[in-house]
Structure 1
Amino acid sequence: MDSSLTRRGQLCWYQKPGIGLDAINDALLLEACIYRLLKLYCREQPYYMNLIELFLQSSYQTEIGQTLDLITAPQGSVDLARFTEKRYKSIVKYKTAFYSFYLPVAAAMYMAGIDGEKEHANAKKILLEMGEFFQIQENYGQKDAEKVAQVKALYEDLDLPAVFLQYEEDSYSHIMGLIEQYAAPLPQVIFLELVNKIYKRKK
């Protein structure tokens, strides 16, 4: 959608020979497979409908996040007034945090018989903060490697690495506080292992 050439260090699927726009249908097939697999393996389980609803909701939220991203920075049209902290946090929350952080933990909770609204709301508070913290390490506003290098050089000139280090420490402390406050009845180690994977990570 954003004309990226690579994803997670590999050539984007649509860039592969003979794929092109067929990638759209391939993506839809993959999404449909989620529900076929859930039906095949979980249909008789008490958590089946919770998983169906969780995956449907996560897909919807991710699509909302992608839409926000696309309308914030349409190709060939830069409007800096659209680049607000509030909008950025919304994009991160919907496009990345729900499916990358909340979805896997919530699915495990349902499968373990933890289906209370309060427990899921508490886990979500922690995990969405982790998602924001993770994503903010990723973005330079450009995809082109040369432009990313220029942005990084500008960051150095403005001493933004020091600003980021302070943000990183503050965010880590905030997340640790959320874990202390909201993790129960889940073991804190679930959240601690996740946050320690992303804290001070090197790309």
Structure 2
Amino acid sequence: MATAELVAASGSGGADSSSTAAFMETYGKLKKELLEDHASEFTDESSLQWIDRMMDYNVLGGKCNRGLSVVDSYKILKGVDVLGHEDAFLACTLGWCIEWLQAYILVHDDIMDNSQTRRGKPCWFRVPQVGLIAVNDGIILRSHISRILQRHFKGKPYYIDLIDLFNEAEFKVSLGQLDLITTHDDEKDLRKYNVANHRCISQYKASYYSCYLPVACALLVAGENLDNFGDVKNILFEIGIYYQIQIGTDIQEYKCSWLVVQALEHADENQKRILFENYGKSDPVCVAKVKDLYKELNLEEVFREYESESYNRLIVDIKAQPNKAVQNVLKSFLHKIYKRDK
């Protein structure tokens, strides 16, 4: 694909155009390398065509916010508006490793959730002739990350730290997927849903790889030791919990969402009965009853109060960071997620 086509396919037109163009050019280079890597193992052209199509279908199509955050964070840490060629390539490459991780996660997540669509098109496993071959395709996408890191970062002083970082991200997401245990028809019990469980699931499913991982990658490339940034990790975890709240109510899928946890906290016994009878059902009437209850409990106002309190608390924590560049990285991330003016 040409760069313009890649930009369109990625859906990241809202980012800075020069950064996006460089990012997309890097995707083309990495994909070419991976296909050549596979070509050493396969003589069957159809296998390479499958992997080519599979990469474009699953890695592209999102906004690339996670990947571009590596580039943005690294620029801030370096104190420059434009990165040199080598620095830009390394930052973009790590950004794409996160996008590859996201693709791997989503391919498997859609199978487990039995989802229909992803990013406005059928989930990969629902594409004709794919089916559960998608399980192996997800594994291939995950293995690509290791191949990319080995090719471009082996020999760097932080190479092992990167390996550990991506392994930890995969582990955290896998733990977060345990929320599926509470969604089985014979296991459904809203009494298991509470603030503590929601925080734990959000931290594992979103905070680590969506918020912490991009900044951690940038810190490593900038020559920093992640052991010195425990407070930064905690701040990004909190930002990630807010991010997870924003991305859906998950009524039909019986997910442990922030809204249902708050509803359980604020509801009287009669209102809880409505939740128990209707939450987790795909029937539009049941979904409407749950949404009506959310309105009755004024959860929009509850959310606004939470948003304001968490934002103000995070600003205080960020200002307490001794490293000014890291402060600026965190502020940038905070404003992207909370959509506030800087």
In structure 1, give the amino acid aligned to 2:325. L
Displacement of 1:145 after TM fit?
9.2
Match of 1:195 in 2: 334
Where structure 2 has 5 or more consecutive residues not aligned to the other structure, the ranges are 1-111, 253-281
Match of 1:124 in 2: 233
Moved more, 2-11 or 12-21: 2-11
The reply to whether residue 46 of structure 1 matches residue 157 of structure 2 is yes
1:27 aligned residue: 138
Question: Which amino acid in the other structure matches residue 84 of structure 1?
Answer: N
Instruction: Say yes or no: does 1:60 pair with 2:60.
Output: no
* Aligned equivalent of 1:186: 325
Judged with a 3 Å threshold, the aligned counterparts in structure 2 of structure 1 residues 141 and 129 are, in CA distance, closer, same or farther, namely: same
- SS of the residue corresponding to residue 58 of structure 1 reads helix
Which residue among 194, 200, 212 is the counterpart of 1:102? 212
Provide the rounded CA distance (Å) in 1 between the counterparts of 2:339 and 2:289: 22
| Mean Cα deviation higher: 105-114 or 71-80 | 71-80
Q: After TM superposition, give the deviation of residue 12 of structure 1 in Å.
A: 1.6
Q: Measured at CA, do residues 26 and 158 of structure 1 come closer, stay the same or move farther in structure 2, by a change above 3 Å? A: same
Q: Distance in 1 between matches of 2:163 and 2:120?
A: 31
Which range moves more in the overlay, 96-105 or 134-143? 134-143
Separation (CA, whole Å) in 2 of partners of 1:74 and 1:190: 40
| Identity value in percent | 38
* Contact 1:54 1:103 (C-alpha < 8 Å) held by counterparts: yes
Change (3 A) 1:16 1:96: same
How far does the alpha carbon of each residue in 1:65-122 deviate from its partner, in whole angstroms, 9 at most, with x for none? 112x111322453111211211111000011110101111101111110014122x12
Number of residue pairs the alignment of both structures matches: 199
Q: Normalised by the size of structure 2, how large is the TM-score?
A: 0.54
Normalising by structure 1, what TM-score?
0.89
Q: Which amino acid aligns with 2:168?
A: Q
Deviation, 1:171, is 1.1
User: CA, structure 1 residues 48+17, in 2 after alignment: closer, same or farther (shift >3 Å)?
Assistant: same
- Residue equivalent to 2:306: 167
CA contact (8 A) 1:123 1:183 kept: no
> Which structure 1 segments of 5+ residues have no match?
none
| Structure 1 residue 148 displacement after superposition | 5.2
Larger radius of gyration: 2
Deviation at 1:139, TM superposition (A): 3.6
Question: Quick one: distance in 2 between partners of 1:38 and 1:98?
Answer: 19
* Residue 136 of structure 1 pairs with residue 275 of structure 2: no
AA aligned to 1:187 is: V
CA distance in 1, matches of 2:114, 2:187: 15
Q: Give the SS at the match of 1:187.
A: helix
Checking the alignment, whether the CA contact within 8 Å between 1:61 and 1:95 is kept in structure 2 is: yes
CA contact 2:206–2:243 (8 Å) conserved in 1 = no
Displacement of 1:11 in angstroms is 2.5
Partner of 1:89: 199
The one-letter code of the counterpart of 1:42 is F
Given candidates 187, 193, 216, the residue that maps to 1:77 is 187
CA contact (8 A) 2:321 2:327 kept: no
Indicate the SS of the match to 2:128. Answer: coil
Other-structure match for 1:153 = 292
SS at match of 1:39: helix
Residue equivalent to 2:71: none
Cα distance between partner residues in 2 of 1:52 and 1:74 = 34
**8 Å Cα contact 2:116-2:122 kept in structure 1:** yes
Give CA-to-partner distance per residue, 1:42-73, whole Å, 9 cap, x none.
Answer: 01211111100100111011101112x11132
